[in-house]
A and B are shown apart, each in its own frame.
Chain A
Amino acid sequence: MRRFVLAVSLVVAGGLTAGCGPEFDPFHLANKFRILTIKTDPPELVIDPGLLSGMPSGPVMLPAPVTMTALHPPAEGVTWRWDVCLFSLDSLSAFECVDPDLEVTLPATGNEATLDLIQVLSALGGGVPMGGEGEGEGEGEAPAGCPAFLALPDGSCLSRLDIQVKVTAGPPGEEIVAVRKVPVWFDAAREPNQNPDVRAITVEGDPVRGGEVTLTADFDDASLEQFVDSDGDTRTELPVFSWFTTAGELQPGATFDDDRDTTLILPTDESVDTVEVYVVVRDGDERRGIDFETLTITLSD
């Protein structure tokens, strides 16, 4: 309890000092190479566990390949590498893959890549004990109907595995690392999540150098789904919008729910002729569906 009391104190202190930080470049200013988001389509996979044990519960539906796109501001000389890892560490261990042998490099073209789970498992070969099914006898044995692959030492069956995709990108010597986890549900009955849908960014106002314009995310509310949260409650996804710009200032840099517009204060720097703006929308904290849109604004004097 002591750690939580301390954490409470820190949160209170942090809350009181919110907005009192030093003058760093704001998060929304994409003035250097960085990855703004990684969209995967679909955002999660659902696999019949029987497929892995050779005893599917119904007609076999192989998981479709996942297409992945990394959003980034313009940059030159960037190299890209996409890797996938079946078992990775948590944030305290920088998301490292537990075993280099469990990491597979994905086919990619620059900021786009494809994740084909079947190919990945195949590439890993014998490293993954795919076959067999537990008989539910003895401690540590896979429960009945659970493939050995998903059997846990405590006798339960793993229902979800977060496969981690790691992107290493950037100019040589200045590479940055970004990760994206793709949940794989071993539950044939699960309705897989779909990405939210942002259709465009609209601009209101004249993009005069030094002036202000209003940016609005044209978002399709029909893309918001209902889901059962970790508490067992049924909820509707809540869209959260993150805004970025290559120049100028956004007020605010993030909005959510029905608040879908922001103000862009355009730069006064005459060397800047165009401004790239981006909006990234997430469908909620537990859902991890992502979409994005970009817009180029040409400045006038």
Chain B
Amino acid sequence: MHRSKRRWTPSAPRGVTPLPVLPAAPLALLATLLLAAGPAAAQEPPEGPPADAPPAAPAAEQAPEEAPAKDEAAAEEEPAAEAPPAAPGAGADAAPAEAPAEEAPAQSELPEGFEPPKLLQEVQPTYPPEAQAQKLAGDVVLLITIDEEGAVSEAVVVQGVHPLLDNAALEAGFQLVFEPAKMNDEPVPVQLQYRYGFTYVEEKVEVAAPVDEEKPVGVLEGQLFKRGSVDALPGVRVVLRELGLETFSDAQGKFRFEELPVGPLIIGIEDDVYGDIEDEEEIKAGEVVTVTYRLDQETFGDRIQVFGKRPKKEVVRRTITVEEIRTIPGTNGDALGVVQNLPGVARTPFGQSDLILRGGGNTQAYLNQQPIPIAFHFGGIRSTVASALIESIDVYPGNFDVEYGRVSGGIVDVRLREPRTDRVHGYVEADVFDAGALVEGPVGENGGLAIAVRRSYFDALLAAAPLPDTFSITTAPRWYDAQILYDWKDKGHRFRALLYGSSDQFESVIEEPPEQNTLIRGDAVAKLEWVGGQLEHTWDIDDRLQHKLNVAYLLTGIDFGVGEIFSLNFLFHQLFIRDSVRAKLTDTLELKVGMDVLNQWNTIDALGGVTGPPREGETGGGFGSDQTISVEIDTFEANCALYTAAEWKLGPILLIPGLRFDVFSAIDDYRLQPRFTARWDVVEGTTVKAGVGQFVELPDGQDTSPDIGNPNLKAEDSLHYSVGFEQQFTDAINLDVTAFYKTFDDLVTRAESLDAADDFDDALEANAGPSLLNQGEGRSYGIEFLLRHDFSNRVFGWVSYTLQRSERRDRPGDDWRLFDFDQTHNLIVIGQYKLTPKWTVGFRWRTTSGNPDTPIVDSVFDANTGTYVQIPGEPNSTRQPTFNQIDLRVDREWTYDTWRLVGYLDLRNTLNTANASGFQYNYDFTQRTQAYEIPIIPSFGLRGEF
């Protein structure tokens, strides 16, 4: 009979070698020391008695500096892991981990008068059983701060292996006790790197048979699953106390005991997270008893989610990982909806879905770095991409990378995750707005496929709602979206294919026209549909060179009309090509070169007033009161950009100079846009950052129409400046403060009105001249704060505050006016608390300055149409009252054997606060009343997943 013995071996740091003292700490001397660890041999502790002692125990000790590292023999003398009996065939020996010796600065580099710290109490980490099942091994390097008392005040992982081992190392690291470092005999705080090496060793040893060979025996085998799914649970301890036997579940959650005595047997299952359970089974002679246990999570574990996992290279890139935000109140679990809770993002009224970053300019939504027409379905309730497929959302409120262009506002880049390939997963979900489903799983050896669909049923709800008799809906607001994602990777190649589409549609028949405007009658149609595909290939040629090619095609159709007085039909064919090479030239210099092409075929068929829809800063006009014009436009435009950027690391300083060159064929224009970003890690946890760059935005397509716009329009320019700092207070708490200043030049605004015409000739010329010109300018400036608590210790949340001002000047010589969405203060507080593993509660509080408003001071009766045309006062010269709203949410999870159900109740505007959204006027604008945003909206949803 065999028994398997597993143990781990922490390889010890072997000395203290100080690095030069860093003068950055303001009040205390901070020295960075390196405890360089020598090679740690595999250690073979003697077998211990089969007792209740943990199967993994510290096996090696270290002594700093003056204490030579222990060799293998010495390690053998340490308390050793006992060897639990386990199932036969438990595996072969794993190679011992070896902590590589690191180059350390010479002792002579120590500053004069400096005495390094001495280790007084060493603490070895506890090797997690779960890690054992996964055969985890490797070196975890901690950066620990030793205070003047010799205690470890802070520890962070600078080189991790796996969260299980990293957390074990952190737990031990905090318990280390030192004699403090001294400078001129005065205790000073220092930082040093401390390494824990984890070695996985497994061997088979013979053990005495605990049973009488003459007695009949049986076999017990089983498998452990996470309740609510078919995910196996590895590394869970299974004990047979009566027999003094124990083992751990393997990677498939399986365990097995052989040659067990016949009769009843108590099986114990022990786990920190899933709790302890006991069960009784009857062992029968010569038979194999098979059991399956599904374990429910009882505790929280110690998971810490990190906000931005990729290293930051921009002044501000706020990355949202989807898992942490799907339960934020007021968003109905929609990932993109959370973007509006970040600093620098203006609050838009309920029902609008614009993303307005740092005081204006268009914001482009990307899906895997390729543009998509809209990020949200109508009403802004739901994003056009399934949240469950999203890996992260990068929000660049300004100073974005050279990879992005053609807009001057900001970038929201949605990145899809890889489909899961361990087995088939899926979910079905429904809430008051829509229902969706996803299924994903492995396809082939290295591929994964995910299919997600969603459809709203707003139309069904509206069918039951009381509507005016004069208004019949043929297609109520409804949306579809779907994504099919295939991902394959092997040997440095990664191939990704994505098909995606979205449809929003609303159609109604206005049986009787509203009496104040009889032009509004007949069919009212609003339809926006797009479908496309992406092919992406990423090739890691070697560890220094990567090539990435992404080709996308998108077909977008817009159909928008009211009766026969206004219609707009767009059809766009868009071909995007993005090709880039990233080369690591040296250890400190990385170069990125790429091109970004957008070819677009436009077909526009429009009928409407020559003035078109109101532009930013304008209010109304008179629907149907201007000369009607019919326009048909077929154009092709090629927009091509070349870009390059270097990432130059100079110690703690990262410099990223970049250049982007855009050519716009449609407007016969080009721009060279230099951009520069710098980040300086002043001390550990503190980063200072700054950026400046030029950005350019294309005029809207219809603005360059010779019929209703000006074909001679050029691109709009913008300069972005930002400076700030980031401070990591703890593993979970961090602060980001960024000040910004943004200018806009050559904004497209309406031409000088005919007011300025001196005489008939001027009037005639102005009347026939272009209606739009590159003559506006703008500026926005402010400061953003984001204080975050990443998910840990049951808590997650952030405080976001933006103080800003955004202004525009429509024509030279005009006074500056406020931008439509200028919001002086924008405070958002989000908090979540996990009451139990099954219950989560959360809140969101938003208070925002009201949007600017243009008062309507008079009206003119247009006898041609029988309508009143408003006469606005000074644009945006008043402001709506402050917006204030609290949202609450409760989430509950139920777990069943192979699936789980999640339900939530989301109360938007819980206090039913009356928030002003504007004014409603009577027919001739002589009376008005305050209009309010939505009252309390309860919504609930269910999601079943497997």
A interface residues, Cβ below 8 angstroms from B? 1-13, 15-16, 18-19, 21-22, 24-28, 34-35, 37-38, 70, 86-87, 89-96, 98-99, 101-102, 127-129, 152-154, 158, 162, 176-181, 229-231, 240, 242-243, 250, 252-256, 259, 280, 282, 285-286, 288, 290
Contacts and interface: CB of A to CB of B under 8 A. Distances in A.
B374 interface: yes
B252 interface: no
A99 B869 contact: no
Interface in B175-191: none
B863 interface: yes
B626 A91 contact: yes
Given A90-B610, A99-B758, A152-B768, A9 B378 contact: yes
Nearest to A165: B863
Interface in B514-547: 514-516, 518-519, 521, 524, 526, 528
B628 A99 contact: no
A230 B558 CA distance: 21
A181 B863 CA distance: 8
B611 interface: yes
A203 to B, nearest CB: 20
A178 B506 contact: no
A179 B861 contact: yes
Nearest to A166: B860
Interface of B: 351-354, 362, 373-374, 378-380, 462, 467-468, 470-471, 477, 506, 508, 512-516, 518-519, 521, 524, 526, 528, 558, 560, 562-565, 568, 570, 607, 609-611, 613-615, 618, 620-622, 624-630, 700-702, 750, 753-755, 757-769, 858, 860-866, 869, 871, 920, 922-924, 927, 929
Given A3-B615, A286-B628, A12 B513 contact: no
A31 to B, nearest CB: 12
Contact of A242 (B518, B609, B629, B927): B518
Given A24-B923, A37-B863, A87 B506 contact: no
Nearest to A183: B627
A170 B920 CA distance: 25
Contacts of B700: 1-3
B866 A8 contact: no
A91 B8 CA distance: 81
Nearest to A5: B374
Kindly list the 7 A-B residue pairs having the minimum CB-CB distance in the complex, ordered from nearest: A253-B515, A19-B468, A91-B622, A24-B922, A98-B754, A38-B863, A178-B861
B760 A89 contact: no
Nearest to B924: A34
- Name the residue among B628, B863, B865 with the largest chain A CB count within 10 angstroms: B863
A254 B560 contact: no
A240 B517 CA distance: 11
Given A26-B923, A93-B754, 6 more contacts: A9-B378, A24-B923, A94-B869, A153-B765, A177-B861, A178-B863
B893 to A, nearest CB: 34
A201 B524 CA distance: 31
Contacts of B470: 18-19, 252
A127 B613 CA distance: 34
A5 B630 CA distance: 20
A19 B473 CA distance: 14
Q: Of residues A13, A18, A91, A102, which shows the largest number of chain B Cβ atoms within 10 Å of its Cβ?
A: A91
A256 B757 contact: no
Given A8-B378, A256-B518, A99 B763 contact: yes
Contacts of A178: 860-863
Contacts of A129: 760-761
A298 B768 CA distance: 53
Interface hub of A12, A95, A162, A252 (most chain B Cβ within 10 A): A12
Contacts, number: 215
A61 to B, nearest CB: 25
Given A6-B354, A27-B515, A89-B754, A98 B763 contact: yes
Contacts of A2: 354, 362, 700
8 contacts: A4-B613, A19-B468, A24-B923, A87-B754, A90-B621, A98-B755, A179-B862, A240-B513
Contacts of A37: 863, 866
Given A7-B560, A256-B513, A91 B862 contact: yes
A144 to B, nearest CB: 18
B31 to A, nearest CB: 54
A280 B866 contact: yes
Contacts of A180: 863-864
B624 A285 contact: yes
A108 B746 CA distance: 48
Contacts of A8: 378, 526, 528, 558, 560
A242 B629 CA distance: 25
B373 A1 contact: yes
B471 A18 contact: yes
Contacts of A12: 378-379, 477, 506, 526
Contacts of B622: 91
B764 A87 contact: yes
A285 B512 contact: no
Given A153-B768, A153-B769, A13 B861 contact: no
A155 B866 CA distance: 35
A111 B353 CA distance: 48
A181 B378 CA distance: 37
A101 B765 CA distance: 16
Contact of B861 (A11, A35, A254, A282): A35
B611 A90 contact: yes
B866 A94 contact: no
Given A11-B560, A95-B860, A231-B607, A285 B519 contact: yes
A285 B506 CA distance: 24
A4 B568 contact: yes
Contacts of B753: 89, 93
Contacts of A101: 759-760
A34 B861 contact: yes
A26 B353 contact: no
A28 B515 contact: yes
B196 to A, nearest CB: 53
B221 to A, nearest CB: 60
Contacts of A242: 515, 518, 866
Contacts of B765: 153
A286 B524 CA distance: 18
Contact of A1 (B570, B610, B757, B759): B570
B562 A11 contact: yes
A237 B607 CA distance: 18
Given A95-B860, A179-B863, A87 B515 contact: no
Contacts of A99: 754, 757-760, 762-763
Contact of A18 (B468, B618, B761, B862): B468
A131 to B, nearest CB: 14
A18 B514 contact: yes
Given A1-B700, A1-B701, A12-B378, A87 B471 contact: no
Contact of A27 (B512, B516, B761): B516
Contact of A9 (B353, B362, B858): B353
Contacts of A181: 864
A240 B765 CA distance: 36
Contacts of A26: 515, 923
Contacts of B615: 3
Contacts of A240: 513, 518, 521
Contacts of A21: 920
A92 B760 contact: no
Contact of B513 (A3, A177, A254): A254
A91 B513 contact: no
B768 A154 contact: yes
Contacts of B762: 99
A12 B504 CA distance: 11
B613 A3 contact: yes
A34 B871 CA distance: 17
A24 B927 contact: yes
A94 B624 CA distance: 14
B767 A95 contact: no
